[in-house]
Amino acid sequence: MTKTTVSAPANIAFVKYWGARDLDRALPLNASISMTLDRCVTQCTIETLAGDQDEIWLAEPHGGFSAPGPEFQRRVRQQLDRMRQWAASEQRFRVATRNNFPIAGGLASSASGFAALTLAAAGALGRGDTPIAELSSLARRSGSGSASRSVLGGFVEWPAGEGDRASPAMQIADADHWDLRDVIAVVEIGPKAVPSLEGHRRAPTSPYFARRLELLPERLAKVRRAIAERSLDLLGPVLEEEAVDLHLIAMSSRPPIFYWAPGTVAVLRTVRELRQEGLAAWATMDAGANVHVICDAAAEEDVAERLESMEAVGFVIQDSVGSGPQTDDEHLF
């Protein structure tokens, strides 16, 4: 019985994937750009098993294992089937995953989870040396499109592709290029009300959806340039426009989706105050209530201290740009 363990990081999107031209194949309607995180990771151990059943476990933070819910099990089995088909193998597996950050709260747990699962399964199938572009496409097929970005470190663009053709994600700058920080204000823990998949499905019903698509080429160009020039002044406003538009579209979809909590608004207000006081800090959110505050290293401690002092904030995670997934020698079981 051989074991493979991979840790894969979460990522925070600067330009969001929201809306698909083919949801079953996770073909997006627009290109997205993200920063891969360093500390927020999912670890996945896969062991080959004799027999004809996969076993799927969640590793608990303080030891022990529990059985995940049926939807999670279904998606993991589906991805394992896809990986077996890809490798022309019948091999069954024992799989355990552990997240070191709150799951399903808009902190991209599916992206890191499916990136880790895909890479660990490729390793367990003896295909660990597959080119990263192919692994990115396999991670995307899990249904969590943003997982295609989490297989890479640094700053990552996932192009939209064209028609039937998907595109893998590509690194546009490595982790050492720009020392950005992500101070995450956790205002709500627990699964979000509506999964991203459903959000993508409803997005085109918003009257603002088409307008955002029109605005995106310019936003994407600005974000690419901001990264190339390491300019937070250029990046910051686009970050907030993108986050607000994502939620505007969600709130005006039919039926509407409200991801924000009261704490979300409180944190957004504090971020504005911090800027008025002279700190360059900019907010973004994925499909959840928690707020990622992007700033440079010099501002990080002040930003974290201020967010931590807020009643609305449960806790703060201080993260930075990570170099991508890694293979671990220590296994979860």
CB of 234 to ligand DP6, least distance (A): 20
Angstrom CA distances, 85 to 63, 79, 82, 119, 169, stand at 33, 10, 5, 15, 22
Q: Does 45 bind ligand DP6 (CB under 6 A)?
A: no
What is the dihedral angle through the alpha carbons of 234, 236, 241, 242, rounded to the nearest 10 degrees?
100
Residue 298: half-sphere exposure toward Cβ, Cα within 13 Å: 4
Contact window for ligand DP6 (CB under 6 A) among 193-201, 220-228, 232-240, 267-275: 193-201
144 binds ligand DP6 (CB under 6 A): yes
- Choosing from 9, 16, 306, 324, the residue that interacts with ligand DP6 (CB under 6 A) is 16
What are phi and psi for residue 247, nearest 5 degrees? -75, -30
- Per-residue binding string, ligand DP6, 80-119, x by CB under 6 A, is ----------------------------x-xx--------
Identify whether the C-beta of residue 36 lies closer than 8 Å to the C-beta of residue 175.
yes
Distance CA 318, CA 179 (A): 13
Q: If binding is defined by CB under 6 A, does position 196 make contact with ligand DP6?
A: yes
Instruction: Answer yes or no whether residue 243 interacts with ligand DP6 by CB under 6 A.
Output: no
Look up residue 67 and give its DSSP letter: P
Q: Is 303 helix (H, G, I), strand (E, B) or coil?
A: helix
Minimum distance of ligand DP6 from residue 110's CB (angstroms): 3
Q: How far is the CB of 169 from ligand DP6 (least distance, A)?
A: 11
CB of 24 to ligand DP6, least distance (A): 12
Span near ligand DP6 by CB under 6 A; candidates 66-74, 140-148, 205-213, 273-281: 140-148
Q: Does 146 bind ligand DP6 (CB under 6 A)?
A: yes
Q: Which of 17, 57, 93, 178 binds ligand DP6 (CB under 6 A)?
A: 17
13 binds ligand DP6 per the rule CB under 6 A: yes
Q: Is 145 in the site for ligand DP6 (CB under 6 A)?
A: yes
From residue 161, alpha-carbon distances to 30, 151, 166 in Å are 8, 18, 5
Closest by Cα among 254, 242, 326 to 287: 242
Whether cis (ω within 30° of 0) applies to the bond prior to 255 is: yes
CB nearer to ligand DP6: pick between 148 and 270: 148
* Distance in Å, CB of 307 to ligand DP6, minimum: 21
Cα torsion 199, 140, 89, 120: sign: negative
Binding interface with ligand DP6 (CB under 6 A): 13, 16-18, 32, 108, 110-111, 144-146, 196-197, 200, 246, 286-287
